Amino acid sequence: MSEYDYDLLTIGAGSGGVRASRMAAQTGAKVAVCEEDRAGGTCVLRGCVPKKLLVYASEFASHFDDAQGFGWTVGKSHIDWPKLINTKNNELDRLNGVYNRILDNHGVELLLGRGKLIDAHTVEVAGKQYTAKNILIAVGGWPVLPNVPGVEHAITSNEALDLPELPRRMVIVGGGYIAVEFAGIFAGLGVEVTEIIRADRLLRGFDDDLRVELEREMTKRGINILASTQVQSITKKDSHLELTLGNGEILETDCVMYATGRAPNTSSLGLENAGVEIDEKGASKVDEHYQTNVDSMYAVGDATDRVCLTPVALAEGMVLVQNLFTDTPNTSLDYDNIPSAVFSQPPLGTVGLTEAQAHEKYGKIDVYTSRFKAMKHTLSGRDEYTFMKLIVEPESDRVIGVHMMGPDAAEILQGIGIALKCGATKAQFDATIGIHPSAAEEFVTMREKRPESGEA
């Protein structure tokens, strides 16, 4: 009989935690997962899923406008925000039920309550202590608010998903993908949106051409972007909020949303009781096998603050289980060429190196770009462009970066991601027959190098 209650006890029933728990249980391990909220985690309850559903809803306004160019007469329309939130929440309830069934069907015990570490093998949940041979930290991340006077009057992405009513005016502070996505959502739903960023452009860390192109398209959609701007304070008035900006300007709005960063949700977890080392943001430090400095303790996903993407957390959870409970130890995850998307409007898809990263790594590179109006908009009349970019290392002819802005960017870049993972060359792209007429075919028909390609 084991000296522990469980072979694996996971703290957090989000994507990474549920995947690791059920995969471990499939090997015959005795597994439990504790959760203070509902099974599903950030992605299902407060992130990817509800946000994408709201993106879909917000796109209908432009669809209605575009329909006229195709001969459709569309009557006056309006958004029923409470109905949208209700149907969105019904879907989240359904998904939460799916996650609960997944755990139950695989024999994983769900412990309700926030887990707190007592020592390296003991977790307390709702006043009861449980022991485990291995403990997995999979608590995800949480929005962080800056130290700005009056910031208590602001909301985060969590609250933005369940506002009781749509504001007439909204300020979104931040230039990352969460801020950009919510700016598109609320602008599409008819809200007057201003986005405030400290940097000179949106989406720091993305390819510079994508940043320029997206900012141009967002501005066309009526989003007011205030670059190189900081909020000094927020003041609540009787009927609105006032933001004092760094230049002394006063900006009136009805709602302020901050999307200026997230941090691992590890506070009050008791990591110090187990001796787990964390960094300045509270992230658990782990090796390539997701083991912390404590032999029995592991961490995956946003709790490690490395690559904060749901599919990465899923993959990390699977690798962890392979190492702990199967005959394939020392398995690790390849973090190169991870495709990602921003569900902005229009959306972005990207995989591989940015142009700046490619220059830094290889020096000489070849760059191919294409900017065109999508076929749909030749009839809709919408002033919107699609942008695509290929980055090639000339010595090997290998494609090392692919970037796109335009409809279906995420769907297209998923397939391109497979090609880059396989080490595809530009010659192989060129030899591939395109699907016509489609935007995707542009990736296999780009022949002219951009003149300024070459040394950084």
Domains of the chain with CATH codes: 6-143+263-325 (3.50.50.60), 151-260 (3.50.50.60), 340-444 (3.30.390.30)
- Distance spanning both ends of the chain, measured CA to CA: 64
CA distance 36 to 182: 26
Q: Please, are residues 111 and 31 in contact by the beta-carbon 8 Å criterion?
A: no
Q: Please, are residues 205 and 348 in contact by the beta-carbon 8 Å criterion?
A: no
Give 270's DSSP letter: -
Out of 121, 153, 377, 436, the active site residue is: 436
Q: Where are the beta strands (DSSP E) in 174-219?
A: 192-196
Residue 389 is encoded by which pair of tokens?
């970019």
Ramachandran assignment for 293, one of left (phi > 0), alpha (psi -120 to 50 degrees), beta (any other)? alpha
Predicted confidence at residue 2, as pLDDT, reads 74
Look at residues 212, 230, 21 and name the one whose alpha carbon lies nearest to residue 132. Answer: 21
Predicted confidence at residue 329, as pLDDT, reads 77
Residue spans of the chain under pLDDT 50? 455-456
Q: Please, are residues 402 and 413 in contact by the beta-carbon 8 Å criterion?
A: yes
3-class secondary-structure state, position 125: strand
Residue 295 is encoded by which pair of tokens?
């032999």
- At residue 212, what is the residue type? V
Q: Please, are residues 33 and 13 in contact by the beta-carbon 8 Å criterion?
A: yes
Predicted confidence at residue 1, as pLDDT, reads 54
Annotation says 436 is catalytic: yes
Q: What predicted TM-score, i.e. pTM, was given to this entire model?
A: 0.96
Look at residues 53, 1, 3, 266 and name the one whose alpha carbon lies nearest to residue 139. Answer: 266
Residue 111 is encoded by which pair of tokens?
């412990």
Cβ-based neighbour number of residue 47 at 10 Å? 23
Q: What tens digit of pLDDT does each residue of 72-115 get?
A: 999 999 999 999 999 999 999 999 999 999 999 999 999 999 99
- At residue 176, what is the residue type? G
Residue 217 is encoded by which pair of tokens?
């398209």
Burial of 119 (0-12, 13-18, 19+ CB in 10 A): middle
CA distance 262 to 46: 13
Q: Please, are residues 223 and 187 in contact by the beta-carbon 8 Å criterion?
A: yes
Predicted confidence at residue 327, as pLDDT, reads 85
CA distance 133 to 9: 8
CA distance 372 to 430: 19
Q: Please, are residues 183 and 173 in contact by the beta-carbon 8 Å criterion?
A: no
CA distance 38 to 96: 7
Three-state SS sequence of 294-307: CCCEEECHHHHCCC
CA distance 287 to 293: 8
- At residue 50, what is the residue type? P
Q: Give, in order, the Cα–Cα distances in Å from 7 to each of 10, 21, 88.
A: 10, 10, 37
R_g of the chain computed on alpha carbons = 24
